[in-house]
Amino acid sequence: MLYIGIDLGTSAVKLLLMNQDGKIEKIVSKEYPLYFPNPGWSEQNPDDWWNETLAGLRELTKGYDKNLIGGISFGGQMHGLVILDEDDRVIRPAILWNDGRSKKETEYLNNVIGQSNLSRYTGNIAFAGFTAPKILWVKENEPENFKKIRKIMLPKDYLAYKLSGVHCTDMSDASGMLLLDVKNKCWSQQMLHICGITADQVPSLYESYETVGTILPWIADELGFPESVKIVAGASDNAAAAVGTGTVGDGMCNISLGTSGTIFISSEKFSVDANNGLHAFAHGDGHYHLMGCMLSAASCNKWWMDEIIGTNDYKSEQNKISGLGENNVYFLPYLMGERSPHNNPNARGTFIGLTMDSTRADMTQAVLEGVAFAIRDSFEIAKSLGISIERTKICGGGAKSSLWKSMIANILGLKVDVIESEEGPGYGAAILAAVADSKYKTVEEAASKLVKIVETIEPNPQLVEKYDEKYRKFAKIYPCVKDLFEEII
């Protein structure tokens, strides 16, 4: 049998074809535009996602026996607001995860409704990227559009709807809406009321490995697929990446160095830290996870290389770096504001420690180290909960860099396991489709059999000690400049 994983990213949709033994047969990527209609705004057209996905499915399966396709599942960018009218037409462009327009609504939720109430209702507090503040923004600023809303969806779930005709979402993705009672895995009636919406306007809830329906006949006919192809709920990009890296079960860890960056810790039990510095979400394996999310990770390096230095030879620039743990230049990687653990959309990227002796390589090193230090901020919160982590998987575009992986290992003091496939979300989505098709009994079983470790980067005790000292200095910078960010925005 063959299984399709669809990874709906911010810049492109990546489609992956996997056989039942876990081998990746083919990968296709299709790009689409990203719109910034105002400073701090970020939008996309859901029909662009759909059109490129449909084209990608044709290209992906060309030359294969389509009768062997057993299921399609998804991993996708989180938090985006997709609103449909009574005819299931998109009302307005989707407001994305990295959109910062809902600062006022976020402050209302955290300060008027109150963080303690939000945490009690959902297990989380409000962040500008979450879906609930976006709903309130539309209600306040586009009342005519708000009145038209029949269904509220997340990005990947729009694709599932277009393929199956079912308005659905999964527990992991729904966790990031600030509408879900995560612990009890049901919609929070209090949050629906606060946002002025009803239970009829939110999609049906599924576990990530559950089948929501089968492919619509007309699409099956157009693509040459059998009508028996299962459409599977799928997971948020981070939960799908965790499945794709084998980060399932209790006490496992995954770090993703994508456009955004995350540290993802899986758990069989639901837990929340005292200050809600980490997200407490459901996982694609049917259990839970804690996650720290930074808004700019590999995108920091891309910005530095492409826009500032003006080169696409990333490897050559990194080869100039020497003296790990000795750099006196620091970088705060908050180019899009920051989420975990600071929850500050006004935070900005900052270099500090420059002297006449500072070099281009020092600044490149500071960018890479700054991302790793920011991930450690979230890791420290997990450790404060008594969670003991000795090793982590790693995925995302940044994970292709040997230097960056070494920095992660030594800055966090963890063994870093590199897996055979770097296609985290798409591979995880394909695994979820295979589980839904009963090729494996559980997500844990599938991951243990399919995900293979090919390399482990061991932390160097001397470097760990050096980076501990550097991290303590890094951790003092944000509190010192926090108030300044408010003044310069």
Note the pLDDT tens digit of each residue in 476-489.
999 999 999 989 87
Long-range contacts from 217-222, C-beta under 8 angstroms, 24+ separation? 219/54, 219/162, 219/163
| 428 assigned to some structural domain | no
- Give the whole-angstrom CA distance, residue 469 versus residue 326: 10
- Give the whole-angstrom CA distance, residue 173 versus residue 282: 8
- Quick check: helix, strand or coil at residue 102? coil
For residue 144, the tally of other CB atoms under 10 A from its CB is: 8
Are residues 377 and 474 in contact, defined by beta-carbon separation less than 8 angstroms? Answer: no
| 438 assigned to some structural domain | no
Residues flagged as binding site: 78-79
- Quick check: helix, strand or coil at residue 481? helix
- Give the whole-angstrom CA distance, residue 217 versus residue 223: 10
pLDDT higher than threshold 90 for residue 424 = no
| 118 assigned to some structural domain | yes
pLDDT higher than threshold 80 for residue 422 = no
CA distances from 177 to 92, 173, 262, 426 (A): 18, 7, 17, 22
Q: Which residue has the tokens 């990746």?
A: 24
Domain total in the chain: 1
CA distances from 463 to 101, 265, 285, 410, 471 (A): 41, 24, 35, 6, 12
- List pLDDT tens digits, range 104-147: 999 999 999 999 999 999 999 998 889 999 999 999 999 999 99
pLDDT value of position 363: 98
Lowest-confidence pick of 135-149, 201-215, 413-427? 413-427
pLDDT higher than threshold 90 for residue 369 = yes
Q: Parallel, antiparallel, or unpaired for β 211-214 and 204-206?
A: unpaired
pLDDT value of position 35: 95
Angle between helices 402-412 and 360-384 in degrees, nearest 10 = 40
| 338 assigned to some structural domain | no
Using alpha carbons, select from 436, 406, 30 the residue that is nearest to residue 243. Answer: 436
Say which residue, 342 or 140, is predicted with more confidence. 140
For residue 141, the tally of other CB atoms under 10 A from its CB is: 13
- Give the whole-angstrom CA distance, residue 170 versus residue 193: 21
- Quick check: helix, strand or coil at residue 443? helix
Are residues 234 and 205 in contact, defined by beta-carbon separation less than 8 angstroms? Answer: no
| Average confidence (pLDDT) over 139-157 | 98
Confidence class for position 305, pLDDT limits 50, 70, 90:
very high
| 54 assigned to some structural domain | yes
pTM: 0.88
What H or E segment, with its residue span, contains residue 230?
A: strand 230-232
| 436 assigned to some structural domain | no
- Give the whole-angstrom CA distance, residue 158 versus residue 472: 43
The tokens of 144 are what? Answer: 């005519």
The DSSP call for residue 335 is B
**Mean pLDDT score of the chain:** 95
CA angle 191, 126, 99 (to 5 degrees): 110
88 is catalytic: no
Residues flagged as binding site for substrate: 78-79
Of the residues 237, 273, 362, 437, only one is catalytic, namely: 237
Ranges of beta strands (E only) in 251-313 are 253-257, 261-267, 279-282, 288-294
In terms of residue numbers, what domain contains 7?
A: 2-238
pLDDT value of position 178: 98
| 48 assigned to some structural domain | yes
CATH number of the domain that residue 206 is part of: 3.30.420.40
pLDDT higher than threshold 90 for residue 176 = yes
CA angle 238, 175, 411 (to 5 degrees): 40
pLDDT-above-90 percentage for the chain: 88
Confidence class for position 273, pLDDT limits 50, 70, 90:
confident
Angle between helices 424-436 and 237-244 in degrees, nearest 10 = 80
| 442 assigned to some structural domain | no
CA angle 246, 247, 251 (to 5 degrees): 140
